[in-house]
Amino acid sequence: MDLKNKKILVTGGGGFLGQNLIKKLLERNVARENIYSPSAAELDLRVRRNCEEAVKGAGLVIHAAGITGNVQMHRDHPGQIFYDNLVMGVELMEAARKAGVEKFVTIGSATEYPENARLPLREEDLWVGPVEENHAPYTVAKKMLLVQAQAYRRQYGFNAIHLLLTSMYGSGEHKDGGPIPSIIQRVADARKSGSKYIEVWGTGKPTRDFLYAEDAVEGIVLAAEKYDKPEPINLGSGYEISIREVAETIMKSMGLKAELKFDTSKPDGQMRRILDTGRAEKEFGFKAVTDFEDGLRKTIAYHASLSAN
């Protein structure tokens, strides 16, 4: 698909992923007037008629909107997280199919993988067992959009693809958006106050595959241009690092010598998460290029610039 002359609907365009995605589309010479990204206040996509309005004239839909958050958010608001993510995605894809949209890209999540899946996580193992309990309302809702996409492809010939995005970090993420900006904020606060320690949720033992935002949106755009198959596909860095190591690296980069304390009353979530990225490289030439420490330095600089302003 040549994106330059397509009208593109990007849901969640005001969020961390959406902002970076729109920037990448503009770099790909997509005209700004061809990118439509209504806010939730403008169009509540849980409502069918709003979805029908949103997809009018679109050649491509990239569904990046979602309701998520940290483990505590998932524990406190599981019903809202399940309903909003499921209904928004289901109604939007149905509206896109009926409107004759050429292609639909769902941004799913690596948390859709079962807890007992072998590592690194491979797309063919997506259904080998149940997902991690704390995130189940979010991940099952997202996973149902894969089921919908594959069902629509079989029955209607609808070109819908499903991307399994790993944990993303980089410029534009809210300070409470994930472990990396949260730890950056805590280190900055400790430097300011002179505190001798910083506290991190959980045991610090879980590992994650963190993907820099610029790499993530490059992968999404490449998939939109080049990938047209029913199988889900991983977007990750292929680099595994523990939360403890992330915190230590941030402290070192920000020049803080302090004790790391872990609040073990808070849940860890899935203990290990590392993605096999071979399919994305084979199918559409995507491979993450940003070294983790380089990406982390850029992310720290971004959050420092916000504090300075």
153 pLDDT higher than 90: yes
pLDDT in tens, 139-148: 999 999 999 9
- Percent of the chain exceeding pLDDT 90 equals 89
Mean pLDDT of 249-262: 95
- Residue 194 has a CB neighbour count (10 Å cut-off) of 7
Mean pLDDT of 30-37: 98
pLDDT in tens, 22-32: 999 999 999 99
Domains of the chain, earliest start first = 8-169+209-239+274-289 (3.40.50.720), 179-205+240-272+294-308 (3.90.25.10)
pTM across the whole model: 0.96
46 pLDDT higher than 90: yes
Residue 133 is predicted with a pLDDT of 86
Cβ–Cβ < 8 Å for 75, 127: no
Q: How, if at all, do strands 207-212 and 167-169 pair?
A: parallel
- Which H or E element spans position 189? helix 179-193
Q: Which residue has the tokens 């503009």?
A: 26
Residue 270 is predicted with a pLDDT of 85
Residue 178 is predicted with a pLDDT of 86
Average pLDDT over the chain reads 95
Please list the residues that pair with 220 across neighbouring strands. none
Cβ–Cβ < 8 Å for 167, 301: no
Lowest mean pLDDT among 99-103, 119-123, 263-267, 279-283: 263-267
Residue 76 is predicted with a pLDDT of 84
Mean pLDDT of 70-98: 91
The residue count for the chain: 309
DSSP assignments along 13-67, one per residue:
TTSHHHHHHHHHHHHTT--GGGEE---TTT--TTSHHHHHHHTTT-SEEEE----
- Residue 128 has a CB neighbour count (10 Å cut-off) of 13
Identify the band that residue 70 occupies on the pLDDT scale cut at 50, 70 and 90. low
Identify the band that residue 302 occupies on the pLDDT scale cut at 50, 70 and 90. very high
Mean pLDDT of 233-261: 96
Two tokens, residue 158: 């609808």
CA distance 232 to 124: 9
pLDDT in tens, 192-234: 999 999 999 899 999 999 999 999 999 999 999 999 999 999 9
Residue 241, burial from CB neighbour count under 10 angstroms (0-12, 13-18, 19+): middle
3-state DSSP call for residue 261? strand
Identify the band that residue 71 occupies on the pLDDT scale cut at 50, 70 and 90. low
Residue 309 is predicted with a pLDDT of 66
CA distance 82 to 92: 16
Cβ–Cβ < 8 Å for 225, 3: yes
Identify the band that residue 134 occupies on the pLDDT scale cut at 50, 70 and 90. confident
CA distance 273 to 293: 19
Q: Which residues contact 110 (CB under 8 A, 6 or more apart)?
A: 121, 164, 165, 166, 167, 209, 234, 236, 273, 275
- Percent of the chain exceeding pLDDT 70 equals 98
Residue 36 is predicted with a pLDDT of 98
